[in-house]
Structure 1
Amino acid sequence: MSEDLFSALDHLAATSTVVIDRPRGSAHPRYPAAIYPLDYGYLDGTVSADGDGIDLFRGSAVGNGVVAMAVIADIDKKDVEVKILLDCTADEIGTAAAFLRDTLGLGITVLRREVS
């Protein structure tokens, strides 16, 4: 069942322009002490629940496609969001999850793509 989801996310990523508006090492706009450990941006031309493009973290494993998705609950904003992890290694998935959970204090669960 989840492979259908990941195939659809791969299609969205392949047919959209990736815009990195917060490069690795840049500060979070609301929390300047929070430094992005990976490139962060969105898929241009897509729409997420907040009305903006689908958020993503982009890692260093070019060609891996969408390897995971993070579902987060932001109590301060009173919303739930989905962020895709594109071209990430297993370590980078953990790094992105720790950033969201430990640095930004968000409730998070990560759904990893099953690989055969």
Structure 2
Amino acid sequence: MGLYFYFYLFKWGNLMRKYFELKCYFNEKVQSYIFGFLLSIFLTIIPFFIEKNHIFSYEINRLIILLCAFFQIIVHFVYFLHLNNTSKNYWYLISLLFVLIIMFIVISGSIWIMFNLQHHTMV
């Protein structure tokens, strides 16, 4: 038992040592990109795995896929675009909000026009 525990600690120590060597090798910006990339890969694999294996019902699968998509958008904003709540990024957040409002207006207006055209052509 003691020998097994020693090998386990030795293996864990080597892994932690390699992690800290890599952490010291990369600067903070590269670490942010690597972590964001790994997180986005993870958030992409989850919906594929769930949909391929049909683990849950259709409604729960759809909810999980939408949640993964939402969190992936947030991961991209935070880790790749570096949009966080610092005073330096204030205007970036304002312009992002403006773009989201314009996209909402264009998409909802297009859907409204299409439903209105369908209603007038069916009557």
TM-score normalized by structure 1?
0.24
Q: Which has the larger radius of gyration?
A: 2
Which structure has greater helix proportion? 2
Which structure has greater strand proportion? 1
TM-score normalized by structure 2?
0.23
